[in-house]
């Protein structure tokens, strides 16, 4: 009899755990209206971020850890966000470094410079000096920073902000339809994992 009772309790605990893990629309996530097409055959995860955003800085190590173990059918795409003119240099910086294959080299350093050292990088000259001091060719960086392709990507970023209804950073979009924003880092990753499962079912 005691064994049966213990089994009942265990099942109840498992059920309550499963129930607590269920995501709540409007609390854990919202819907992108209308859903947006993705650029990937995989489940696309977009992160809209800004280097000067402390919440993005706090999420970054959690997101990095998740990315290292993310499922093979998931693709993470970073989107530098431009809510005002003063943010555009950082968007240009991200895309310039990306075109040079140097994002990984300076990504963390850019976050730390803004959020730990309280040193805003607001113009090309300051950013070029920052990059040069860390081993990036300054002339090549400036050429990329001012290139047509980088300008096009910045323009596309601004369009995506409107299309996805992004109102703050960080914001993550899963598969063009599910939006995560305003959560603590651990909760953001928890919800991200659950939404990927939902998106995978949608694909099937």
Beta-strand runs (E) in the chain = 30-31, 43-49, 74-80, 171-174, 178-181
pLDDT score for 21: 63
- Counting as low any pLDDT under 70, the low residues of the chain are 1-21
pLDDT score for 202: 86
Q: Are 131 and 106 in contact (CB under 8 A)?
A: yes
Residues 6+ apart with CB under 8 A from 55: 169, 170
pLDDT score for 16: 34
pLDDT tens digits for 86-109? 999 999 999 999 999 999 999 999
Q: Are 54 and 85 in contact (CB under 8 A)?
A: no
Task: Please tell me the CATH code under which domain 24-203 is placed.
Answer: 3.40.30.10
pTM score, two decimals? 0.88
Residues 6+ apart with CB under 8 A from 46: 77, 78, 79, 160, 164, 172, 173
Distance of CA 156 to the CA centre of its chain: 16
Place of tokens 């809510």: 83
Q: Which residue, among 147, 171, 146, 181, has the nearest Cα to 49 in the 3D structure?
A: 171
The dihedrals phi and psi of 116, each to the nearest 5 degrees, come to -105, -40
Q: Which residue, among 46, 137, 152, 51, has the nearest Cα to 100 in the 3D structure?
A: 137
Q: Which residue, among 113, 55, 105, has the nearest Cα to 89 in the 3D structure?
A: 113
């Amino acid at each position: 009899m005691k064994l049966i009772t213990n089994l009942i309790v265990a099942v109840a605990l498992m059920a309550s755990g499963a129930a607590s893990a269920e995501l709540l629309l409007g609390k854990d996530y919202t819907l992108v209206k209308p859903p947006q097409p993705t650029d990937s055959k995989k489940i696309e995860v977009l992160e809209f971020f800004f280097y000067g955003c402390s919440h993005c800085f706090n999420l970054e190590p959690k997101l990095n850890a998740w990315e290292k173990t993310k499922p093979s059918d998931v693709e993470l795409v970073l989107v530098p966000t431009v809510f005002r003119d003063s943010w555009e240099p950082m968007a240009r910086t991200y895309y310039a470094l990306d075109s040079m294959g140097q994002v990984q080299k300076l990504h963390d350093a850019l976050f730390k410079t803004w959020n730990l050292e309280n040193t805003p990088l607001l113009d090309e000259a300051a950013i070029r000096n920052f990059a040069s001091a860390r081993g990036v060719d300054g002339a090549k960086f400036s050429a990329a920073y001012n290139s047509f392709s980088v300008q096009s990507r910045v323009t596309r970023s601004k369009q995506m902000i409107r299309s996805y209804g992004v109102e703050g950073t960080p914001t993550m979009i899963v598969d063009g339809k599910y939006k995560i924003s305003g959560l603590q880092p651990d909760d953001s990753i928890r919800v991200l994992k659950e939404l990927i499962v939902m998106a995978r079912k949608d694909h099937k």
